[in-house]
A and B are shown apart, each in its own frame.
Chain A
């Protein structure tokens, strides 16, 4: 069975902290994605990766960076968290037209 896991379901951080959100997939997929979900805005793509160490900006990359050192793991990094980054973060992995989503991390920045 397809599995995408995210390190935390809920996370509370303070403004200015460095935050790591981890995503792991067990399907040997080349492609991995980070989305942000906000009410009334749907899901928006932050970054994606199509191979180890390869990454591309999505639609809203400002304030974020990513790391993909191993094929199964894709990390989203908030270098200095701000209150406007309070949101739900969804990771996905896939091949071709398929994307499988993780359960999401609800991040609150105080």
Chain B
């Protein structure tokens, strides 16, 4: 079974600064995906970024980037130039690469990020 650990329950960052959210995972699988999801106060869960384990290059999406360390089983999210709209709960998630039946997500416990003026 897979486990995902987010050790920072809450974080705060000032607007325009950079913040890094940590995530570690444990798996015996070799082919998998890792995700960061954002859940703002409106509750709609939104995908922020996805990393495929077989790709060495770290994924980036505009101000969001990851530091994927496969050997260390670490997957951190860096948010640059933080904006007030980045205030949300952030979840790290793991998915085994699957063929056949549906692929399931395993989530961490979340990090609540507050962006302040």
**Residues in A neighbouring B42, C-beta threshold 8 A:** 103
Interface presence of B11 (CB below 8 A) = no
A25 to B97, CA, bound (A): 23
- Determine the main DSSP class of A at the interface with B: strand
Contact string against A for B residues 104-117, beta-carbon threshold 8 Å, 1 for contact and 0 otherwise: 11111110000000
A48 and B97 in contact, given A88-B43, A101-B44, A103-B43 (Cβ under 8 angstroms): no
Number of chain A residues close to chain B: CB under 8 A: 26
Interface presence of B69 (CB below 8 A) = no
**Residues in A neighbouring B91, C-beta threshold 8 A:** 42-43
| Closest Cβ–Cβ distance, residue A31 to chain B (whole Å) | 4
**Residues in A neighbouring B109, C-beta threshold 8 A:** 40-42
**Residues in B neighbouring A44, C-beta threshold 8 A:** 107
**Residues in B neighbouring A33, C-beta threshold 8 A:** 102, 104-105
| Closest Cβ–Cβ distance, residue B75 to chain A (whole Å) | 15
Interface presence of B84 (CB below 8 A) = no
| Closest Cβ–Cβ distance, residue A90 to chain B (whole Å) | 7
**Residues in A neighbouring B9, C-beta threshold 8 A:** 40
| Closest Cβ–Cβ distance, residue B50 to chain A (whole Å) | 7
B residues apposed to A, CB below 8 Å? 4, 6, 9, 33, 42-47, 50, 91, 95, 97, 101-110
Q: Can you report 21 A-B residue pairs in the complex whose CB atoms are below 8 A from each other?
A: A31-B102, A31-B103, A33-B104, A35-B107, A40-B9, A40-B109, A42-B108, A42-B110, A43-B91, A43-B105, A48-B104, A50-B102, A56-B101, A58-B104, A96-B103, A97-B50, A97-B95, A99-B105, A103-B42, A103-B43, A103-B44
